[in-house]
Amino acid sequence: MAYPYVSDREVRVLSKNFGDPSARRLDTYVERGGYSALKKAFELGPDGVVDVVKASGLRGRGGAGFPTGVKWSFMPKDSNKPHYLLCNADESEPGTFKDRELIRWDPHQLIEGVLIGAYAIRAEHAYIYCRGEFFETTQVLARALEEAYEKGYVGKDIQGSGVDIDITVHLGAGAYICGEETGLMNSLEGQRGQPRIKPPFPAAVGAFGMPSTINNVETLAAIPHIVAHGGEWYRQWGTEKSPGTKLFCVSGHVNKPGNYELPLGFPLMDLIEDVCGGMRDGKALKAVIPGGSSVPILNAAECAACSLDYEGVVEAGSMLGCASVIVMDENTDIVKQVRRMVQFYAHESCGQCTPCREGTAWMTKILQRIEDGRGTEDDLQTLLDMGVQMTGTTICVLSDSAAAPVESSILKFKDEYLALIRRGERVGAA
């Protein structure tokens, strides 16, 4: 298969059908063993499924890395309210492009995962909330869902099991903040896409005021495999605390950017040098953002010892996030990159919380001024102070996310800022 780039070091579990359009059809999916995990799940019962997922150690792939089985077990067991499973397909973190591929190449894998997840949390209705820009992707998913309804895999009395689960695909309107779980719920309900205050947590009061669980596409796509093969099977990959495989979205200055499914704990430098074919044009590595634009930047020295699991990246000084690896070479203008990212956050801030609404826009203006050669050294201290004031002071973490690259880049690449401030010149700009 020629899906843009593949590597023999990959472990293709979730991504095995990438590049194979026939896998989108239900009969192909069933032929290859699809929907057998669903049957097994019905035999295990909801609590049995939760136990298997707990045993696998699967952690949420949306960025926070919270253990999925534990999250499911927070759902009330004896409530008489309807429960909802929400699948977060609003993939909007800059640098991330895995959920889109999972949906467009293997929609039934996700549908099966959603069904099992809904069954485990005793939900009779699941929503797949797709990013507004994913028009074609959503069409693929909607077609697959239609087929699954026709063949009795979704809807009333699934395959004669007596279990009813409906799935609704909802296309968002294109806002980063609607990928935040409670922002997504508001958007789904037709409200402004603004995060809600927690508590109450979604497991108590979620979508439409009912107990809800929200999982990332990649998390739910892994569920059928885990249920089919067992928790121990999944633990053959990865580390003790970060088991399993993970899709890495590599972008930037490498020879072969793309999606690679690798066991967690994979060395970052191996990903760049081996899997991605090394730096483009033989340039030197300057920096890597390992988990999507919200996490701190790593400099080349920090990258050297970084292993790509939840703990390993924290140890190196950043976070794994959703494993969106943005690679930057020696010619990269860090100040410009950071300004561009913060500008994105300023554009996407929902505007509720003052530190985020005002802070992201103010940071953008200061960074733009520095970039234009009109900065002062005091600006750096102001930016660092703002970073402190924007971290942990808001309803959601968008504000923290905007502050992280600013703070980390000033600490790690201060010379570039100072050079611009003192000489009005960009370092490394061609």
Partner 1 sequence: MADTPNTVSLTIDGHEVTVPKGTTLLEAAKTIGEDVPHYCYHPGLSAPAMCRLCLVEVEGAPKPMPSCVTTAADGQVVHTQSDLALSRRRGVLEFYLVNHPLDCPICDQSGECKLQDYVHQEGRDHGRSREPKRVFGRDDFGGDVLFYGDRCVMCTRCVRFMTEMEQDSRLTVVERGNRSVIDTFFEEGLEGTNWSGNIVDICPVGALVSKDFLHKARAWDLEHTPSICPSCSQGCNISLHTRDNLVQRLKPRENMEVNGWWMCDHGRANYEWMNHGQRLEAPLVRTEDAVRAMGWKEAVGALLDRAETTSGSVKAVVSPFASNEDLAAVRSLVDALGGGSMVYRMARADAEVPMDGFPILARRRDLAPNGRGAEIMGASRVGDDDGVGGLDDVAGHDGVVIVLGDPLVDQDASFGQSASLFAYLGMHGSPATGAADFSLPITNFAEQEGTFTNHEGRVQRFWPGLRGPGAAQPAWFVLGAFQAARSGDPAPRSAADAFAALAASEPALAGMTYDDLGARGAVLNETVSVPGG
Please count the residues of the chain.
430
State the CB neighbour count (10 A cutoff) for residue 27.
11
* Nearest distance, CB of residue 357 and partner 1, angstroms: 5
Residues that bind partner 1 (rule: CB under 8 A) add up to a total of: 34
Strands (E), 311-374: 324-329
Tell which one of 81, 156, 347, 423 touches partner 1 (CB under 8 A). Answer: 347
Q: Toward partner 1, which CB reaches closer, 235 or 357?
A: 357
Closer residue to partner 1 in complex, CB, 30/204: 204
**Binding status of residue 353 toward partner 1 by CB under 8 A:** yes
Residue 355 interacts with partner 1 (CB under 8 A): yes or no: yes
Backbone angles phi, psi at 143, to 5 degrees: -65, -45
Which of 110, 175, 319, 338 forms a contact with partner 1 (CB under 8 A)? 175
C-alpha 366/C-alpha 119 separation (Å) is: 50
By CB under 8 A, the residues from 184 to 213 that bind partner 1 are: 192, 197
382 binds partner 1 per the rule CB under 8 A: yes
Nearer to partner 1, 388 or 429 (CB): 388
The least distance separating partner 1 from the CB of residue 390, rounded to whole angstroms, comes to 8
- 357 lies in the binding site for partner 1 (CB under 8 A): yes
Q: Is 170 helix (H, G, I), strand (E, B) or coil?
A: strand
> Closer CB to partner 1, residue 296 or residue 387?
387
Triad 187, 193, 197: Cα angle to 5°? 105
- Count other Cβ atoms within 10 Å, centred on residue 93: 22
369 lies in the site for partner 1, by CB under 8 A: yes
Output 194 or 242, the one with its CB closest to partner 1. 194
Residue 369 or 426 having the CB closest to partner 1? 369
**182, 187, 337, 352: which one binds partner 1 (CB under 8 A):** 352
Q: Taking contact as CB under 8 A, which single stretch among the options 20-28, 207-215, 262-270, 345-353 is the one that binds partner 1?
A: 345-353
In angstroms, the CA 165 to CA 21 distance is: 27
Residues in contact with 353: Cβ distance below 8 Å, sequence separation at least 6, in sequence order: 393, 394, 395, 396, 399
CA pair distance 324, 249, nearest whole angstrom: 5
Q: How far is CA 183 from CA 54, 177, 197, 214, in A?
A: 27, 6, 10, 12
Q: Is 4 exposed, middle or buried (0-12, 13-18, 19+ CB in 10 A)?
A: exposed
Interface region with partner 1, contact rule CB under 8 A, candidates 53-61, 81-89, 226-234, 359-367: 359-367
* Interface residue list for partner 1 (CB under 8 A): 175, 177, 192, 197, 346-355, 357-362, 365-366, 369, 378, 382, 385-386, 388-390, 392-395
